[in-house]
Structure 1
Amino acid sequence: MPTALVTGATAGIGRAFARRLAAEGHDMILVARDAARLEEFADRLRARHRVEVEVLPADLAADTQRAEVERRLADEQRPVDVLVNNAGFGTSGEFWDTDAETVQKQLDVNVGAVLRLTHAAVPGMRRRGRGDIVNVSSVAGFFAVSGSTYSATKAYVTALSEGLSVALAGTGVRIMAVCPGFTQTEFHQRAGLQMGRLPRAFWLQADQVVHEALTDLRRGRVVSVPGLQYKALVAVGRLIPQRIQRMIVTRTTPGRT
């Protein structure tokens, strides 16, 4: 059976990826900070889908713990066929009001972990001539969001994925950035963002994001934007001057006061 490793696997989009890949017959490696939630979820996947599930508790902002995940990805005796870099978090408030340690941790998880885990996985995938890497980015990465370092981290993830997809063309290794918009998960609550003003039409479901992402990956797309509303938003955004973009985003971003 093929094996998939998913980070941030206990909630939201990561959990939906793990459910879908297990249902498709992948053995799973689940990575997250909460060991108890990992074990509970692993038991569910084993019982429902009859697959092997390995749990790997790790805080990807911590060098030594992230290194354990890197070593697992580089283990040629137990190859990983699919890597989903999903772990990440946002913050609320202005840049200067957020303590430097929190901003650094966000950079370490949203950017550093994606870079290091992708770097660990690619050599073995190239040697085997196959492998898939899905980097969970965000629509926010296409826009300059005032007060947010989150959009900057996601712009990096998308650009990295696009660049590597060019470098790996013809190797059998596929890399794609999936860029969802607002999705019904724990993300916004954890970030302390107030989302009550956002119209219902802009909310996506995690399973929808995963379905569209995997469909796009298997069609050979490098960037996936789930949801017609967000496809339209990104397309229109490319036609609007950046000065006007910044004005619109500043006035309409949920959670700003």
Structure 2
Amino acid sequence: MNTIKKTLTIALLGCSSLAISQTAQDKLKTQSINEIGLTVSSYKYTEPNLTDFAGTTMSVTMKAMNVGVEYLGTLALTDDWYLLGEADYNNGSVNYTGTGTINNIPQFYYNFKGAVGHDFAIDNFVLSPYLGVGYRFLSQSGGGMTGSSGSGFYDRQSTYNYIPIGVIHRMAVNDSKATLVTTLEYDYLISGNQYSGLSSVNGTKNGVTYAGVPNINNTQNSGYGVNLSVMYKEDVWGVGPYLKYWNISQSDTAYGNFTKNGVAYRGGVYEPANNTIEYGVKAIYRF
């Protein structure tokens, strides 16, 4: 009789342990929640192999300290499916180095993303892959600004349409009172457009007169991005580092007619291959 009692006790303890494990695992799955974040980051854009009109190869860089806001919303569905929506906005004046230098060029960008995903519980962690669509827009308002070499800047706008393919890893820390959330995402560029407001160079500068220089749009169809973040999250707040990277191939070439000191020319313009890296820290409020 005592042996039966002991066996029954062990069986009940085993069931209790299993229930606790299942509860902790369910907590790691995607929850319906909203998150608002503030970000501070270092931003660097580079054209590593730009060739000027004289055939000289040089590197162009633009650097900034960005401050941004971010919203992330998740909606848990049945059977471990979920929806994800994200929007972020970043602002910071850039300092240009290339054919001379220009400081404090106004710049901002924003990004929208929507995705659907599924949770997979594995032992003491959960993997949540997702697939969606994304849109990124960046604007620089440098039209009319003049650099140290006397060359003029112009307005630039970059538009990316992409497919985000990502996975979220969640694991418990501090006896399940908090979670460590790591997100890795690959962004496949579907299409891009680079607008260059070159008409701002029309007029006379340093004894040279340009007229009829058109604004140009270049198509970009090859490139990718990578996003990585590691967040420590409590019930109502979170904090952690993040990194964003874009690598975009050279665009097509667009042609236009203009005059230089009264002489007619036909020129081609393309957006050089470029990369952007941004890394910083994010703090979030969860509700």
TM-score normalised by length of structure 1: 0.27
Higher relative contact order structure (alpha carbons within 8 Å, sequence separation ≥ 6): 1
Structure showing the higher strand proportion among its residues: 2
Work out which of the two has the higher radius of gyration on C-alpha atoms and give 1 or 2.
2
